[in-house]
Amino acid sequence: MKKEELVVLIVDDSPLIAERLTRILNGLKNVKQVLHAGSFTDAMNILSVLKPDLMLLDINLPDKSGIELLRTISINKWELMVIMFTNHSSDYYRDLCKSLGAYYFFDKTNEFEKIPDFIRHVQLE
């Protein structure tokens, strides 16, 4: 049975980005709930209680790197689709994030508008 309604966690320290993404994602039929964490610590607190289906993760966070969060998710083998969403779009970061289990990598500057369509088509088992 495929999961048709997603719980999405946005991990980004920019309230403007989080608010904009939340508005957009709340308009998608396959999104049930959008959560927001502004730091590594906030994200870990949410992940310890809730099990989102999908995470939009920035690399730059105020307390620890999003890469550390991705590494933690990978080490603990949490079932969570992680999509990197950052201004650090060099091949180095893309390759590192993919090696740590990121499903996809979006450049905030050039690919912001592609995110809703991508999430609209996500189907999890």
How far is residue 76's CA from residue 44's CA, in Å, rounded to a whole number? Answer: 12
Residue 124 has pLDDT above 80, yes or no: no
How far apart are alpha carbons 21 and 14 in whole angstroms? 11
CATH number of the structural domain 6-120: 3.40.50.2300
Give the pLDDT confidence of 75-120 residue by residue, as tens digits: 999 999 999 998 887 889 999 999 999 999 999 888 888 999 999 8
Q: What digits encode the pLDDT tens for the residues 3-59?
A: 678 999 999 999 999 999 999 999 999 999 999 999 999 999 999 999 999 999 999
For residue 54, the one-letter residue type is: L
Altogether, the residues listed in the chain come to a count of 125
Task: State the pTM of this model.
Answer: 0.92
What pLDDT is stored for residue 1 in this prediction? Answer: 35
Domain ranges within the chain, ordered by starting residue: 6-120
